[in-house]
Chain A
């Protein structure tokens, strides 16, 4: 599980490439969405799914937030029938991975209006895909703030109940409407 004494002094080159993968599984361990950012780990879909199966078997009964598996540090969270995972190398700062996981979970939660379950994710799969793309770009954390991620996925503002919109969003949508009414 831990690195041998020989590796203790080995320092990884400072780099922004932090995230090895982000996965959302359902309560049978089947993939809903998954992205892997390092071609050297799990290069094929078959290897990825084998890893996900193993990961799910090790995590679905215990909600303990963090596990080492296949040389990766995996942090996770679950809700109703969904499991969210973020993976990084075993040298990675666990708390950085945790902020990315929280951002993934909170963004999806805000997009689904706190209704975090499989059916809702599938209904808004397009937005979920966009959100994952805004959180991590090719292994680099692009944005780890859920509110900002949700703003960036251009959620149709008419979809959010007025009470949950920010003042800026309301103004923005009023501006849009005005623009279009002028253009017509």
Chain B
């Protein structure tokens, strides 16, 4: 049932990769099939995949070629085939950088983004925002605000992420849509929560007092989303570094994150504590214990993260790291050479003569 059955025969005569010997000009020629009515979804999806593959391999299209392909592709909006439509969105995103007059698809995409099919709506929002310029922004603003507070997480995330990208087009976009982002922050979906926090931070980051208020509110009820919590830890760290005066609430929040159930958050918190400019031995100690525990993890990424962080701490607080020397010695023979190297250089900073002998 796949779109590439035809190529299986070709494979028997030749190479193992059906896309191996694609010629740009041939494929672009094939794209003329897009103009046929009615649209043959399987065939067109296959040709479109070839175009996307060529672009992915780094093939460059000239402006005329890209524009021609783009306009041919717009004909495919006639088909209701889900996969074909989704590939068209991808094609729009890929070609919008090179092709001219791409705003021609605005109305088709707006129609899809306000339609019934959730799978279309989310992807259409993302495609639409890649072709949106300053002039068009006002026309889609109402739909975007609605999409941010949509009950479908895919739609809401797509709109939030797109509004971050649109900050390049218009600097104040996040601020204009902050009310909707604030509402999205209450979502049960972990990704929507994360994306909403990103937009809210973008909206307020130039106003330190607004950031302080936002963080103070959020640390009271720890976020469900581990991604959002990591982001919140980073925001708290930035405030702690900037304000210099002791803000015990923020420190307590980060320390509490050391007991979070997600390893990702625990590591983020430990990393944050040891890197805070105001951290003394007292603040570092619990973080070091966590990192010491991670040194024995079966996951290489976790051992790597831990030893890399310890390696950094060893430069400022070598005494605090000494407690981990035994664990670090075990890592010298780690199968991952980066981990072994980091363990050795860390030990050189903290080790006593006794360990050098071993």
Contacts and interface: CB of A to CB of B under 8 A. Distances in A.
Interface of A: 1-3, 5, 8-9, 11-16, 31, 33-35, 45-46, 48-49, 62, 64-68, 75, 93-99, 118-119, 122-127, 129-130, 133, 137-138, 140-145, 152-154, 156, 158-159
B2 interface: yes
Q: Chain B interface secondary structure, helix, strand, loop or mixed? A: helix
B341 A127 contact: no
4 closest cross-chain pairs (CB), A and B? A45-B58, A65-B300, A16-B198, A14-B234
Contacts of B119: 152, 154
Contact of B338 (A12, A45, A66): A66
B75 interface: no
B188 interface: no
A164 to B, nearest CB: 14
Interface stretch (B26-34, B138-146, B284-292, B301-309): B301-309
A1 B17 contact: no
Given A2-B312, A14-B235, A62-B335, A159 B1 contact: yes
Interface residues of B, number: 74
B315 A5 contact: yes
16 contacts: A3-B312, A14-B235, A34-B56, A45-B57, A65-B299, A65-B300, A65-B304, A66-B300, A68-B338, A93-B230, A94-B305, A95-B268, A95-B305, A152-B122, A154-B83, A156-B82
B148 to A, nearest CB: 15
A138 B165 contact: yes
B90 interface: yes
B347 to A, nearest CB: 14
B195 A98 contact: no
Contacts of A123: 2, 4, 18
Interface in B84-128: 86-87, 90, 93, 119, 122-123, 126
B90 A130 contact: yes
Interface string B142-174: 000000000000100110011011000000000
B86 A154 contact: yes
A12 B237 CA distance: 10
- Residue of A48, A124, A140 with highest tally of chain B CB at under 10 A: A140
Nearest to B19: A122
